[in-house]
Structure 1
């Protein structure tokens, strides 16, 4: 199994430390926090996409090489992630046979390859983006609020699909979101971040059932309208 140990990750500007965290990704992991908590900065730092105005210090160990070929990204807004004037087949960088295999993997038929993004539903576009990410030999899949722009049905279907892919392909995922409910059955571990600091981390089941931090408790209460989720 692949492993990623973030021993120290510090992001700062000239005046303030914006993120200062350490955590492991040894299984399906969720990074949870409200808007502005530091989730996106953490994600961008792993992709080396931070703006030049920010300073980055990181000490990361992994049992695989971290680069653009081993890390895949599922962005927040699927509708702006593909070229609108280009057919789906031209947005892959692999053979036609592999494109067909990848689409089958995400439960789409190869008719999609001859369509433009505007001819697809939001759920179909998100599946295409997942297939494109999997066209590389990735070891780590980063998901940046991937269900925010989707309706409830498509959201549930994408979560189920990601769960199936993780188990089938034996890859790591870091699911970045403010929506705890969406990952409660997907991620084994969660990391709760607030104002650039980790306030709680551990087993998803244990933290949902017995959170220790007040911020975590508030997040859980605001996410779950049905308090029977613990059963």
Structure 2
């Protein structure tokens, strides 16, 4: 497994207000959990170097590899808006034709879909294609921003299973950003819980789900699961 990325300091601010102040590790598969407005998206944008120019970033990281577009893959929230609608799938990769076909097959898609436009694929197919495109380079870190939010329940589970399989087969770190703990309970080894831009709890996923330390974490868990048997 690729060595961990140690985010020693990630601070995002305006001239008048601190928005995010985090410190955590991306170790194997790590989930960043929090309600809307907690700072999840800003954290992702800072790692991707996509913060708006009006925000200040103080970022100190200890990583075994350089964080750039060649080493980081990104799976956005909505597959329907993440690709160019007027461009065939095959022209949205950044690799050889042979690798495109291999990646499509790797995510369970027929290579014939490379000749189609995004609007000719279902939501589940499109998100698989987005995942394949993210691996155009030999990435070392995969960032996921609520990757199943726009999908129906069947497609959601298919994508989660695919991501779980990819983790087993390929050597990369994962940072999975979501408010839905249910989507990461079988995928992510570690959880970082954030509220108002600060870490309030972090650790092993099973430990936190079975014994949350804060009322905020308990509320997140209770709002996600109807069946609490996993917490026993």
Q: TM-score range by the shorter chain?
A: over 0.9
Describe how 1:125-164 pairs up with structure 2 within 5 A: 125-164=126-165
- Corresponding residue for residue 63 of structure 1: 64
SS in 1 for 2:127: helix
- Corresponding residue for residue 201 of structure 1: 202
Q: Quote how far apart the aligned CAs of 1:229 are.
A: 2.4
- Corresponding residue for residue 222 of structure 1: 223
Q: Quote how far apart the aligned CAs of 1:22 are.
A: 0.2
Equivalent pair of 1:19/1:197 in contact (CA under 8 Å): yes
- State the Cα deviation string for residues 117-164 of structure 1 (Å, max 9, x = none): 111000000000110010111000000000000011111110110111
1:11 matches 2:12: yes
Structure-2 separation of matches of 1:8 and 1:155: 33
Q: Which moved more, 1:87-96 or 1:31-40?
A: 87-96
- Corresponding residue for residue 172 of structure 2: 171
- State the Cα deviation string for residues 15-37 of structure 1 (Å, max 9, x = none): 11100010001110000000000
SS in 1 for 2:192: strand
- Corresponding residue for residue 102 of structure 2: 101
Structure-2 separation of matches of 1:4 and 1:174: 10
Structure-1 separation of matches of 2:132 and 2:67: 20
- State the Cα deviation string for residues 199-218 of structure 1 (Å, max 9, x = none): 10000000000000110011
Equivalent pair of 1:73/1:143 in contact (CA under 8 Å): yes
Equivalent pair of 1:2/1:139 in contact (CA under 8 Å): no
- Corresponding residue for residue 88 of structure 2: 87
Structure-2 separation of matches of 1:164 and 1:52: 37
Equivalent pair of 1:145/1:177 in contact (CA under 8 Å): yes
Equivalent pair of 1:143/1:176 in contact (CA under 8 Å): yes
Q: How many residues align?
A: 231
Structure-1 separation of matches of 2:166 and 2:159: 10
Q: Quote how far apart the aligned CAs of 1:178 are.
A: 0.3
Structure-2 separation of matches of 1:93 and 1:212: 44
SS in 2 for 1:6: strand
SS in 2 for 1:8: strand
Q: Which moved more, 1:81-90 or 1:197-206?
A: 81-90
Structure-2 separation of matches of 1:12 and 1:156: 36
Q: After the TM superposition, which segments of 4 or more aligned residues of structure 1 sit over 6 Å from their partners?
A: none
Equivalent pair of 1:2/1:64 in contact (CA under 8 Å): no
RMSD of the TM alignment (CA)? 0.8
Q: Which moved more, 1:211-220 or 1:84-93?
A: 84-93
